[in-house]
Amino acid sequence: MKERASLKNRIAIVGVGESDIGKVPHMTGLGLNAQAAKRALDDAGLQVSDIDGVLTAYSFTEPYFMLGSVICEYLGIKPRLNASMIVGGASPVVMLKHAAQAIVSGQAETILVCAGENRATGQSRDAAVAALTAVGHPYFEQPYGTSIPGFYAMIALRHMHKYGTTREQLAHVAVNTRTHALLHPNAHMKSPLTLDQVISAKPIADPLGMLDCCLISDAGGAFIVTSAERARDLKCKPAYLQGIGEYHTHEHLMCAPSLTEFGAAESGRIAYEMAGLAPGDIDVAELYDCFSIVPILEAEELGFCQPGEGGAFFEQGHARIGGRLPINTHGGMLSHAHAGAAGGLFGIVEAVRQLRGGLGERQVEGAEVALVHNEGGILSSHGTAILANEKG
C-alpha cells in the first residue's frame, strides 16, 4: 500500500503530442511515432537530448522485434531505460505506471512514452482482417472461427440479456463520441452521426455494426513524463499523477470470470485509493472504447453509475460535454483515432489537455481531475490513471 501511495504527486506529464491522423500514406509507423514525439517535446520545451528513457508498445505494421530500440535509433536517443510493452490496449496507462516507478526509483529522469502505427495505409485489407481473426485460444477458441468483434459482441449480448441494455443505448455511445470528435481539429472522422445511421450500419457481429467498432487509422501519440519537481521549470502546465493501478484477469475470454464484470473495478480501486479520491471527484473521463459496449462496462466498473446503468448513462446525455461526466471528449477510438496502442494513449493526451484548459467548445468547464482507463485484449488487462492540474 505504501509503495502505491508513494507515486502520488511525485510525477507529472509535461508534454503531449499526436501525429497527423487518418490516412497518412506518406508516413511509416516509425514516422508517425517520431512526429508525435517531436510535438510532445516541443510542447514540453525539451530537446531529444533531454530524454533518458523511452517506453513504447508494439506494431502490426512495422517488421521489428525490438521496437523500443528501433524507436530510439530512429530518434537518435541513447537512453538509460528502454522497453517495449505488450499489454494490448492497456499498454499506455501501464507504460505511464512503469515510467512513474522508474523516475521515482532513479532509473531515469525524463521518459518519452509513444505508440502508433500506420494501420490504415500500411497493411492490406486481408492483413487487417487476419489480425482481427487471429485471436482467441489457439486450441479451444480459434478453431471455431473467433474474431475480436465476435468476442465483444458476445459480451454485449450478455450485458443486454442480464441488464436490459438496448441496441439504441449502444448507438448513443457512438453518437456521443462523434459529437465530441467534431470539436477536435485532428480527429479522423469529421462528419455528424445519427442514431439511425449507427443502427442501420453494416452488420459486423450481432449486435455490433460497423459504427459500433473502432476506427482503423494512421496515427501516433506521445507524452513526456518527469518528476514533479522538474515539471515546475518546464514550458507547459503539468498534469500531476494522483493515482494509478493495473489489474489482469485473463488472456482468453473462455477463462474470464464473467462476461459482464472485468478488471476495471480493481484497477480503478487501486487508482482511487492512491489518489484519495472517489468517482464523484472526477471531472472528465477518457475511457477505452474499441467497441460501443466497452465504455458502458467501464463506466459501471469505475463507479460512475450502478451495474446495468451504463447504457442509460449514455442515452440520457450524462457523458456529453456539459453533462454529469463528459466521456471521451476527443472522440475516442470510435471517432478520433485508433492505431494499436495509440488509441488508448490519445485518452492520456486528451486528459492532459483538458486539465490545462483552453480547448474552446471541447473544454469541460472546471476540469481539475481527469481519469483515463485503458483495457487490452478482450477486456483482459486494465489500467486506470487519475491526473490533476494541481497536486492533491
Give the tens place of pLDDT for each residue, 76-94: 999 999 999 999 999 999 9
Looking at domain 9-120+213-386, its CATH superfamily turns out to be: Thiolase/Chalcone synthase (3.40.47.10)
Please report which residue ranges of the chain form alpha helices under DSSP H.
Answer: 2-5, 29-44, 67-75, 91-104, 125-133, 148-163, 167-181, 195-199, 228-231, 264-275, 293-301, 310-315, 342-356
Q: At what angle do helices 148-163 and 125-133 cross, to 10 degrees?
A: 50
Can you give the residue ranges of every domain in the chain?
9-120+213-386
CA distance 120 to 13: 29
CA distance 100 to 91: 14
Report the amino acid identity of residue 226: T
Is the pLDDT at 133 greater than 80? The verdict is no
**Residue 289: which H helix or E strand, with range?**
none
pLDDT in the model for residue 1:
46
pTM here? 0.97
The candidate with the shortest Cα–Cα distance to 91, out of 72, 117, 110, 70, is 117
Phi then psi dihedrals of residue 209, to 5 deg: -105, 180
| CA angle (379, 387, 306) in 5-degree steps | 50
Q: What is the pLDDT of residues 151-199, one digit of tens each?
A: 999 999 999 999 999 999 999 999 999 999 999 999 999 999 999 999 9
C-alpha 308 chain-centroid distance? 23
Q: Which residues lie below 8 Å from residue 306, measured CB to CB, with a gap of 6+?
A: 300
| Beta strand pairing call for 369-376 and 81-84 | unpaired
Is-contact 295 282, C-beta < 8 A? no
pLDDT in the model for residue 216:
93
pLDDT in the model for residue 3:
47
Lowest mean pLDDT among 7-21, 120-134, 286-300: 120-134
pLDDT in the model for residue 177:
98
Confidence of residue 73 (pLDDT cuts 50, 70, 90): very high
